[in-house]
Structure 1
Amino acid sequence: MYEVTFELENITPLFMHGADQSTAEFRAASVKGVMRWWFRALAGNYFGDNISGLKKAECRIFGCAESEVRKSLVTVVASASSPPNGYIDKTSNSWKNAIAWSEYVDYFFFSMLDKKRESNKIKIKSKSSFFPPQSRFRVILRSPDRRALELAEASLLLAIHLGGFGLRARRGAGSLKISKVSGDCSFDDCNSYVVETPDELRDIIETILEFSEQALAGPGDELSRTPIEGYPKYPILHPEYAAVFVLDHERPKDWIGALDNFGRWYLGRKAGRKFVDGFRFKFADYNLSHDLNRGIGGSSSKEKRYYLGLPLIYANYKVTVEGVKGAPRNCPKESDRLIRRRASGYWLSLSQFGDTVSPVVTVFAYQLYPEYEGRFCFRKKIKGERDRIGLITLENPISHRAEDNEAVVNFYREKFIGDKGLAGYKVWPGRV
C-alpha cells in the first residue's frame, strides 16, 4: 500500500458543508470531487475527444456508480484540526458601508453572505459558519496501485496550486497552501510540492504534465490516445487552450488585498452599488438589459458576459439568462435542452509566495455548448405574474452571423490569454 500525507492551511475562507448546511465541514467526498475535476483537465491531454475513454480512466482511479459500479483505487481521507468558527455578523448604517471583507471580496463571495435591511440598519451575516484563514487540514491518499496514486497526487496538487475547495472556489474562496508533504511522493522530492515562487509553480505544473503522461497509459492501457479535433469540449490543461497567470504587479501580505488586486482589473471601480470599467463589464450591453426588462426578445453584438458563466442574473434580479444546447427557436418548448448552469472558463486562486499573497488565474478556452449558435433563453420574473420566457441572439458584427463555439474559444484566447487580457506574469506555458 502506498500513502502520501498532505498538511494544508487555507489562505482564504473555506465554505464547505455536509448534510448540515449551517455548519462547515472538511469532507473527503468534496475533496475527491475537486480532484476528479482536475483529473479530467489533466487527462484531457491524453484522451482529447475520447470522452468515453476519459470517463473509464476516471472510474478506475476514483470509482464510479453508473452503469458499472467500481470501487476507487485511491482512498481519500480528509480531516480538519481547526474548528469552523468563522462567522460574519455586522451592522451598518448604510448600504455603502455594508461590507463584510471588502467591496471586491464581498462581490466574489456574494452567495455566502446575507445582506438585508432591518429597521434603519443594514445587517450583514454569513449564511453559515466557515473555516477562517490559517485553519489547518490534512488529506491522506492511499492506493495499492502506484500509477493510480501518481494521478491522484497530480490531481490534488493542481487543485491546491491552481484551484480551490468548497463553495465560491472559482472566485478565490477555499484557496489552500501546502505546509508539509510526507510519504511515498511520486514527483521528485516531497519538498518540491511546496511552492514558494511563480517559477516553482511553473516547474510543478510541467513536472505533473510530464509524469502524468506516462501514468495515464496505465489506467488507459486499452484506451486509445485521441487528439483534439476543432476545439476542446471540456476544460483541458493544454498549452494551446489554457494558461496560468500570476498577478504580481502588487504583492500584498494579506489575502483580502490580493483579491482586491484582481477585483480592480476584473470588476473596475465602484459607481453607486455597481462596478464599472472592469474587464467583465467591458462586455456588458446595458441597453439589452433594459430592453429585456421591458419586453421579450433582443439581440446584441456587445454582450459577452454569458461566456464568463451562466446563469447570468441581472442586477435588478428580474431577468435571468440561461443556456440552451443547440440552436433554440422556441425556449418554452425546448426546456429539456435548457442548461441551468455553465461554469466559468477560469479559476481564481491565491498562492502565498514567501510572505506575500498573489492571485493565480487559470484560464481554459473550450466550447460553450455542443452545437452552440449564439442564442440564449432568458426568464423574466415579475412579482405576481408567470415567468415570461424569450430568446437573446448574440450577433457577430464582423461576419453578421450568429456567434458560435469558435467565437467563445477565441474570446478566452484573445480577451483573457492574449496581449489584451490579463496584465500579469504568464507562468505557464512559458513566459511572455
Structure 2
Amino acid sequence: MVKMLIIADDITGALDTGIQFAKRGIRTQVFTEGKLDESDVKADTEVIVVDSESRPMSANESYQVVKNIADWAHKKGVGIIFKKTDSALRGNIGSELQAVADAVKDFPIYFLPGHPEIGRITKGGVHYISGDLLENSVFGKDPFEPVTRSYIPDIIRDQSDIPVICKSAEEPIADKSNSRSEIIVCDTETVKNIDDILDKLVKADGLQLIAGCAVLGERLAEKIPFDYGEVSSYEKTDGLYVACGSLNKITLRQLEYAEQNDSFIRKKLTMKQKFSAGYYETPEGKKFLEEMIDLCRTNQKVIVDSFDTEENIADFMADKGKELDNLRTLIPQAHGRIVKALAEEPIDLTFLLTGGDTLMGYLKLVGCRHIEPVCEIEPGLVVCKLLWEGHCQQIISKSGGFGTEDILCRIALKIIE
C-alpha cells in the first residue's frame, strides 16, 4: 500500500529523494511523467516519487501539474504528501506549495527547507548557502534560474497568497483541531532541528503535508514505519562517462579538477554540436559520434561538457536568432544523442549525467518513463538502473550544484573495475 507520495520538480530531485527510501529496502517507484496510471503502481510499493518536470514552467503551469498529482494521491487515500523542493529554492516554490494546499484543504504544510549537512540552512525564515545569503550565492547568479531573494516568505508570496508564518525549531506544533491552509516555514540550522520537528509532528498526528529537500526524505525514512526488503548496490564497470549539461560554476570547478588531477579526458561540445538541430544526422555529426565511441573504447574516464564563454553564447544567439529557453532544450538533446550512441555499443560504461535537464532529456529520447533507484554512491549522487529496448544501463544522477571539488575523481575510484 502506498504510504507516501513525493512530488519533485525535476528528475535529479526525484531520485535524490526517492533513494533515501530505496536504499533502506523500502519499495520505491520513480515516475518521470505527471500522469499516473494506477496499473503502473506495484502492489508492494510504499513510496511513489513523481517528477512533475515543472521547474522551467510558468507559475500557472506548474500549479496545475502539481495540483493534478496531489489530487490523485489525496483521492487514493495516500497518507502523506511530500513536496520536494530544491535546497537552493530554485523553481516555482510558491505556486507548487499552493497547489498541494489546494488539493488537501484546511491542513498546514510544514516547510523544512534546509540541508544543513551541505551548508544550506534556514534561520528566522532566511535561507543561507555556506554562510552567504541565498541571493548572494552562486544560485543568485544561475544563468537559467537565479534566486534573487533570501527571505522565504517573500519567495513564496511571489507566486502565492497563501498565509506564511515562520517558526523556530523550539516553537510548539499547532493543535491539529485548529488546522488551516497555511505554510509554516521552520528553521533548519541542524539535522537535529529537522528530527525534532518531525518527532513533534508524528506525536501530534500532524504529518500529512510536508515540504523540503532530500535530507528531509532521509529523515522521514527513519521516522515512518515501512516494510524493509533487500538493499541493492552498484556494479563496477570498465569505464565512466560523464555527460555534463549543467552550466553551474560549482560543476565547472569539478570538471577542471578532474581533468587536472586525474586521468580524465575532457571534450567540450562546439556550438554546432550543442545547438544545431539535426547535427547528429549529418555526416559530420555521425563521424563525431564514431569518434566518441572510439574515445570511450580506449579511455576509462571521459567527460563531455557544454561550458562556453558568455560572449560566445551571446554571439551565437544573436546570429542564429535563438532564445535562452531553446538552449536549455538543445543541450540535453545533444548529450542524449551521444549517450544513446554509446549505450548501443558493447562498451561496459557507467554514465554519470549532471543536471536534471540532461538526464530528463535522455529519458525522453529513449522513451523511458520509469527508472529504478538502486543506491547512493556518494551523498546526493544516485545510482539507477535504466531499461529500454533491451539495453540495461547503470546511470548516476548528479545535480549541477552538488558535490565537492573532487567528486568525479572519487566516483571514478569507486565505479571503475
- TMscore range, shorter length: 0.3 to 0.5
Between structure 1 and structure 2, the one with the greater Rg is 1
Q: Which has the higher strand share?
A: 1
Higher share in helix:
2
